[in-house]
């Protein structure tokens, strides 16, 4: 994995409600009773957040926020940044101050950082398979409820791109929309008549005759080529001659990405980036 362009961090103001809710879930109504019972008041310590396996780190901003919400007096020193490639044993962050505060924030910080780093690492692996092409890897809406913003940020840290964030920021006409609206032409005619000029439109097809109908009717900025085999994807690229942006989707697993990118599609979207990523092993060591 090679270094990647860094995306700007999100404002803590956006992240804080997510982290605060996770802390409240963990601390409950009476706080960390184990720590309060066994750690003498005033005990200070310095903890180290370390990588235990290779990957791309993400969620360090969130981890730091978790510790600060528990105790603003904690001193946090970053040694790596979100989007960095890491190796086992790498020091990612140091947290110094009240030992009880560090222990109370530990699990929430690790849950976020491990989950987000797993997404970033899997995304980086997908992106590596597109090397030498102009194809971009993008995520989907198949995210953990309530965590979409941070999971999509992790995709960026892995070198991928973000698809729409929700139902309100782009038109994406799926097969069920087409069936309910009476066909490809009626649904595209409706978009042209009713949609704002500021909103982009994507339409899903799974056959080349449907793609031809989309191109003939017009009104779509992006065509999602769903569950097509590789030879059909290559024919779709030839048919469109760059008239529209093409996104390949459906069963896009790591071992298939290189051959799909070689067809010349503009984007490959995969829900696996967020719904199937394995947590990256990170540890907080005292």
Q: What is the DSSP letter of 279?
A: P
Q: What is the C-alpha to C-alpha distance for residues 271 and 56, in angstroms, rounded to an integer?
A: 19
Does residue 124 register a pLDDT over 60?
yes
Q: What is the pLDDT of residue 4?
A: 58
Does residue 250 register a pLDDT over 80?
yes
The answer for residues whose C-beta is within 8 angstroms of residue 36's C-beta and 6 or more apart is 100
User: What would the CATH number be for the domain defined by 12-122+278-285?
Assistant: 3.90.1170.20
Q: What is the pLDDT of residue 48?
A: 98
Q: What is the DSSP letter of 161?
A: B
Q: Tell me whether residue 107 is annotated as binding.
A: yes
Q: What is the C-alpha to C-alpha distance for residues 19 and 154, in angstroms, rounded to an integer?
A: 15
* Mean pLDDT on 127-153: 97
Q: What is the C-alpha to C-alpha distance for residues 166 and 150, in angstroms, rounded to an integer?
A: 14
Helix/strand/coil for 205: strand
Instruction: Tell me the pTM.
Output: 0.95
Q: Tell me whether residue 174 is annotated as binding.
A: yes
* Mean pLDDT on 239-249: 96
Q: Tell me whether residue 192 is annotated as binding.
A: no
Q: Tell me whether residue 231 is annotated as binding.
A: no
Which sign, positive or negative, has the C-alpha torsion 158, 121, 169, 253?
positive
Percentage with pLDDT > 90 across the chain: 97
| Confidence band, pLDDT 50/70/90 cuts, at residue 19 | very high
| Confidence band, pLDDT 50/70/90 cuts, at residue 7 | confident
The catalytic residues are: 107, 142, 174, 204, 226
Q: Tell me whether residue 141 is annotated as binding.
A: yes
Give residue-wise pLDDT tens across range 106-122.
Answer: 999 999 999 999 999 99
Q: Tell me whether residue 50 is annotated as binding.
A: no
| Confidence band, pLDDT 50/70/90 cuts, at residue 5 | low
Q: What is the pLDDT of residue 145?
A: 96
Q: Tell me whether residue 270 is annotated as binding.
A: yes
- CB distance 211 to 202 below 8 Å: no
Does residue 35 register a pLDDT over 70?
yes
Q: Per DSSP, what are the bridge partners of residue 284?
A: 49
Give residue-wise pLDDT tens across range 144-169.
Answer: 999 999 999 999 999 999 999 999 99
* Mean pLDDT on 13-33: 97
Hey, what CATH topology would domain 128-276 get? TIM Barrel (3.20.20)
H/E element holding 273? helix 272-275
Give residue-wise pLDDT tens across range 43-89.
Answer: 999 999 999 999 999 999 999 999 999 999 999 999 999 999 999 99
Q: Tell me whether residue 272 is annotated as binding.
A: yes
Residue ranges covered by each domain of the chain:
12-122+278-285, 128-276
| Confidence band, pLDDT 50/70/90 cuts, at residue 1 | very low
Q: What number of other Cβ atoms are within 10 A of residue 88's Cβ? A: 11
| Confidence band, pLDDT 50/70/90 cuts, at residue 6 | confident
- CB distance 253 to 273 below 8 Å: no
Please provide the average confidence, as pLDDT, over all residues in the chain.
Answer: 96
Q: What is the C-alpha to C-alpha distance for residues 269 and 153, in angstroms, rounded to an integer?
A: 15
């Amino acid at each position: 994995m090679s270094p990647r362009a860094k995306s700007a961090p999100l404002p803590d103001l956006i992240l804080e409600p997510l982290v605060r809710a996770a802390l409240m879930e963990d601390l409950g109504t009476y706080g960390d009773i184990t720590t309060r019972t066994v750690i003498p008041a005033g005990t200070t310590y310095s903890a180290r957040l370390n990588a235990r396996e290779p990957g791309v780190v993400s969620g360090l901003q969130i981890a730091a926020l978790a510790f600060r919400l528990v105790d603003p007096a904690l001193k946090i020193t970053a040694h790596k940044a979100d989007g960095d490639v890491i190796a086992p044993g790498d020091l990612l962050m140091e947290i110094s101050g009240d030992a009880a505060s560090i222990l109370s924030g530990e699990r929430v910080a690790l849950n976020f950082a491990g989950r987000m780093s797993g997404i970033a690492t899997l995304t980086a692996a997908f992106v590596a398979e597109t090397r030498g092409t102009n194809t971009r890897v993008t995520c989907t809406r198949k995210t953990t409820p309530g965590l979409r913003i941070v999971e999509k940020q992790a995709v960026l840290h892995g070198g991928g791109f973000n698809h729409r964030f929700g139902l309100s920021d782009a038109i994406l006409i799926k097969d069920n929309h087409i069936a309910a609206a009476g066909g490809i032409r009626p649904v595209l005619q409706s978009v042209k008549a009713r949609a704002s000029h500021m909103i982009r439109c994507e339409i899903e097809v799974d056959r080349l005759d449907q793609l031809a109908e989309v191109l003939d009717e017009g009104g779509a900025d992006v065509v999602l080529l769903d569950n097509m085999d590789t030879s059909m994807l290559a024919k779709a690229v030839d048919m469109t001659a760059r008239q529209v942006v093409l996104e390949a989707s459906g069963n896009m697993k790591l071992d298939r990405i290189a051959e799909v990118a070689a067809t010349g599609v503009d984007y490959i979207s995969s829900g696996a980036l967020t719904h199937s990523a394995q947590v990256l092993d990170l540890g907080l060591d005292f």
